[in-house]
Amino acid sequence: MSEIWRLSAVELAARIRNRDVSATEAAQSALARLSAANPAVNAVVDHRPEDVLAQAAAVDAALARGEDPGILAGVPVTVKVNVDQAGYATTNGVTLQKDLIAAVNSPVVDNLRRAGAVILGRTNTPAFSLRWFTSNIVHGETRNPRNPALTPGGSSGGAASAVAAGIGHLAHGTDIAGSIRYPAYACGVHGLRPSLGRVAAYNAVLPERSIGGQLTAVSGPLGRTIADVRLGLAALSAADPRDPWWVPAPLVGPEVPRRAALCVNPEGMETEPAVVKALQEAARRLTEAGWTVDTLESIPPLQEAADLQIRMWMADGYDGMLAAAEKEGDPGALVALRGQRDKAAGADLSSFSAVLTRRATLTRLWELFFAEYPILLLPVSAELPFPDKLDLQGDAAYARVWRAQMTQIGVPFMGLPALSVAMGRAMSSVGQSPVGVQIVAGRYREDLCLAAGEVIEAAGEPVSIAEPEAR
């Protein structure tokens, strides 16, 4: 029973529902793995074993009464520290919020609990969830369990590091500019950014989100199998009246032709050879499974979408964000914000309105594209996962990071879903590195991303559990 933590979320939920394994045994196994692996990675920064065991006992009691505990029956999952969990601080990686204790759960936590999940712990994020690297003053630095010289990604770096190291069977993350997809890529797991409105969002302990956040930030699952990611999405996407933008869209849409587009150098992106090779291999696997895959040189505007996404995200309350970062004194947050000062400069009602107007045009162009090609294969990043803290190595390094992440930044501007699929390993400048691909689809067609992801996954090696090196 000590190795229960190795099971997939799908398999564990089935075993618990069949009473082959108790939720308490699963929780004990998960806590033991957390104790063994977390000191090396610092992925989980807040957890209470007694609370975990109490949640598990409640699942076991429901089963004993003959009740269905939900699709995640007893599965230990982690949640990010930027969402409300009653009794815990919603720190978002900053000391300014370390005493901001939530009185009620966010919809994310409530939906996971209603699905029968056991919340194992809370995962790390960079300060203000602003970087593709994960460190902060209040919780410290998270390491990549597959190679500590690499970034674990961000901002859901703790989530990806945890699930890659076998700490929890599923992880919750958030994504406004790649914060699920990039950590999944960097840590060699799968991660889904759902469509805008698919997963309800609300933090009662914080002020209402800005317009930029409301239009682009989403929550989604990370896992070691695509089936687990699918299960996580089903749990997370339940209705919650606190989010006025939640959309009651079906999780499975109508049948479409098995036709995909492949673009390895979108808008001239200088995609490195190892990433190109992974994309071509993903296309080959789809082709062998009966898909038609066309290689395209041109796709609808993505660089423009990325530029406008940054403007909408950064300009909306920029001065307040910068003042908070200066008060916090976090070097990563300050570099991230100061580096985008030009995007925020001169923002007024007229320019912000122009951004929102253009958003409608670009979204239309992309939806028309997906009417012809139901899915699109893109790089997650132009580069293999970065050496850790690369963005702090001067102006040129900072510009390099943001340039490589164009596809991650651009996709959220239209509210599109995208799946990061792990594709094994490649050799980087700092040793062995995960590599993967990004699958994008039209709005509310996460099912197409997942279906294509399962084809790619099935033809490769399963995602392994990392054994992180002790500090």
First and final C-alpha spacing in the chain: 27
Q: Residue 132 phi/psi, 5° resolution?
A: -95, 25
Q: What is the pLDDT of residues 216-233, one digit of tens each?
A: 999 999 999 999 999 999
**Which pairing describes strands 76-80 and 190-193: parallel, antiparallel, or unpaired?**
unpaired
Q: 353 catalytic, yes or no?
A: no
Which residues share a beta bridge with 221? 172
pLDDT at position 344, please? 78
pLDDT at position 353, please? 93
Q: 35 catalytic, yes or no?
A: no
Number of Cβ within 10 Å of residue 189's Cβ equals 32
pLDDT at position 368, please? 98
Query: What residues contact 443, with CB distance under 8 A and at least 6 apart?
Result: 195, 196, 363, 367, 414, 415, 416, 417
Residue 256: how many CA atoms within 13 Å on its side-chain side? 22
| Alpha-carbon span 229 to 147, nearest angstrom | 23
pLDDT above 90 for 291: yes
* Interval 4-11 mean pLDDT: 98
Q: 428 catalytic, yes or no?
A: no
**Of the residues 106, 135, 156, 179, which is catalytic?**
179
Map out the domains of the chain as residue ranges. 4-458
| Alpha-carbon span 315 to 187, nearest angstrom | 31
One DSSP character per residue, 298-351 reads --S--HHHHHHHHHHHHHTTHHHHHHHHHHHT-HHHHHHHHTTHHHHTT--HHH
Please give the structure tokens belonging to residue 278: 């992974």
Q: 4-458, what's its fold? A: Amidase signature (AS) enzymes (3.90.1300)
pLDDT above 80 for 471: no
Mean pLDDT value across the chain: 97
**Of the residues 22, 155, 195, 381, which is catalytic?**
155
Q: What is the pLDDT of residues 360-395, one digit of tens each?
A: 999 999 999 999 999 999 999 999 999 999 999 999
* pLDDT: which is higher, 1 or 108: 108
pLDDT above 60 for 1: no
Query: What residues contact 298, with CB distance under 8 A and at least 6 apart?
Result: none
- DSSP helix/strand/coil, 43: coil
Are the C-beta atoms of 209 and 222 separated by less than 8 Å?
Answer: no
**Of the residues 80, 129, 381, 428, which is catalytic?**
80
* Interval 426-446 mean pLDDT: 97
The pTM of this model reads: 0.98
